Amino acid sequence: MTRKIAFDYDRAVDKATRLFWKKGYTETGLRDLLKVMQIGEGSFYNTLKSKKQLYLACLQRYEETVVETRLQALAAAPTAAEGIRAFFRAVLDRLDIPSTPSRLCMLAAMASEDVLVEASLRTRARTSLEALEQLFGERLNQDRDNGALPRSLDPSTTAQVIVTYLQGLWRRAVVDYDRSRFERQIDAFLTALGL
């Protein structure tokens, strides 16, 4: 017989997501999680199994909420260039929200040695980066094929460069964030790429 979950799972995962986003994977302890989720240790292990399993569920929740907004902006624009610029505006919009747990993207925060030492987390980080590169690459490829971008543009490499820049943007935002300065940098960067 399956045991019924004795707590609001979605609410608990939302709270855990915010905590992981604020403190990172290795700095978030089990006691912190239990406290913020308002559940007991037994419920935690019966339902979520481990801190790593919860973290993976939180990453999924983050992608379904925060990242999805960015991806919708990318997909809704009529061209790749406009979509990529809209994606970056969505990133800056999130950075502007004072209640955001951290200026560092939760997925970008995975790129640290203490997280990547675990093979399954390294695979998860790589998968997220590759998925984003693929989405950028597909938009760029469509525009190149229909003549909106030059034939000389390499969509795959350009997508990788954009994702690499994006990772650096989040790291820089942790140190010193000023939207207007970031907007100028993003414009210069994308203009140099022909976007």
pLDDT of 47 reads 77
Q: Tell me the pLDDT band of 40, cut-offs 50, 70 and 90.
A: confident
Mean pLDDT, range 122-133, rounded to an integer = 96
Tell me which of 6 and 37 has the higher pLDDT: 37
Residue 63: burial class (beta carbons within 10 Å; 0-12, 13-18, 19+): middle
CB crowding 131-163: b at 16 or more within 10 Å, else e: ebbebbbbbbbebbeeeebeeebebeebbbbbb
Report how far residue 13's alpha carbon sits from residue 135's, in angstroms, rounded to the nearest whole number.
27
| Domain assignments of the chain as residue spans, ordered by start | 61-192
Rounded to 5 degrees, what angle do the CA atoms 71, 73, 79 make? Answer: 105
CATH no. of 61-192: 1.10.357
Quick count: other Cβ atoms within 10 Å of Cβ 42?
9
pLDDT of 12 reads 87
Phi, then psi, of 177 in degrees rounded to 5: -110, 125
Q: Which has the minimum average pLDDT: 2-6, 20-24, 105-109, 174-178?
A: 2-6
pLDDT of 74 reads 97
List the alpha helices (DSSP H) in 48-79: 51-62, 68-76
Q: What is the pTM (predicted TM-score) of this model?
A: 0.91
pLDDT of 7 reads 65
Q: What is the pLDDT of residues 136-154, one digit of tens each?
A: 999 999 999 999 999 999 9
- Percent of the chain surpassing pLDDT 70: 96
What average pLDDT does the chain have?
93
Q: What is the pLDDT of residues 46-100, one digit of tens each?
A: 878 889 999 999 999 999 999 999 999 999 999 999 999 999 999 999 999 999 9
Collapse the DSSP code of 80 into the 3-class scheme (helix H, G, I; strand E, B; otherwise coil) and give the result: helix
